[in-house]
Amino acid sequence: MTRFHEEQHFHGALMGLLLVAMIFVVVVTVMAVVFARPDDALLLAIAPVVIVLVASLFSLSHLDVDVTDRGVRIAFRYLWPTRLIRFEDILGLEVRRYRPLLEYGGWGVRLGPAGWAYTTGGNEGVQLRLRTGIPVLIGSKHPRELEAAVRVGIEGAART
């Protein structure tokens, strides 16, 4: 049974930056093909294709967070393997604000000084303290609801 589900897409500013980078590479490639040696034309023509593929991958990917009877399932579609954190492995949790660039080096799946982070944008989430000692932050647009669902799951797991 699913107690909580959230689907998040990358932050609009990040996608905008990726689009600007894509346009820049295409313009530079076209200029290089026009002014470069013919031997470099094939290599330069491949660059925009790679950029478009990467941009497409990012635009299709999204973060799915599900709290089920088994635990917290975090899936970063098309970019990272799914992770299941069992309720028995969670020692504590809290809703908190975070600084994505300073604490984790950006958005996405990150391992920083503050532990693992799964984020697509924003600066709020739920921090899980795990038995393994490495905390996990899950970015969320609904952190209070996510926290409540995880707490209910932990209480249910403790009773069994």
DSSP output for 41-55: HHHHHHHHHHHHHHH
Domain ranges of the chain: 2-6+63-159, 10-60
Which residue type, as a one-letter code, is found at position 118? Y
Q: How confident is the model at residue 60 (pLDDT cuts 50, 70, 90)?
A: confident
Fold of 2-6+63-159: PH-domain like (2.30.29)
What is the pLDDT confidence band of residue 36, given thresholds at 50, 70 and 90?
Answer: low
Q: Evaluate whether 139 touches 125 at the Cβ level (below 8 Å).
A: yes
Strands 115-119 vs 136-139: parallel, antiparallel or unpaired:
parallel
Confidence check: pLDDT of 77 > 90: no
State the angle between helix axes of 41-60 and 12-35 in degrees (0 to 180), rounded to the nearest 10: 170
Segment 114-136 mean pLDDT: 94
The arrangement of strands across the sheet holding 71-76 comes to: 2-8, 63-68, 71-76, 83-86
Task: Give the distance from CA 104 to its chain's centroid.
Answer: 11
3-state secondary structure of 151: helix
Higher pLDDT among residues 106 and 40, named by residue: 106
Confidence band of 56 (pLDDT split at 50, 70, 90): confident
pLDDT digits (tens, 9 = 90+) for 141-157: 999 999 999 999 999 88
Q: How confident is the model at residue 24 (pLDDT cuts 50, 70, 90)?
A: confident
Mean pLDDT of 25-53: 68
pLDDT at 7: 93
120 contacts: CB under 8 Å, gap ≥ 6: 8, 9, 10, 11, 62, 63, 107, 108, 139
Q: How far is CA 36 from CA 43, 51, 152, in A?
A: 11, 20, 63
Which tens digit of pLDDT belongs to each residue from 11-22?
665 566 666 776
Segments of the chain assigned E as strands: 2-8, 63-68, 71-76, 83-86, 90-97, 108-112, 115-119, 124-130, 136-139
Mean pLDDT for the stretch of residues 75-84: 89
> What's the whole-model pTM score?
0.76
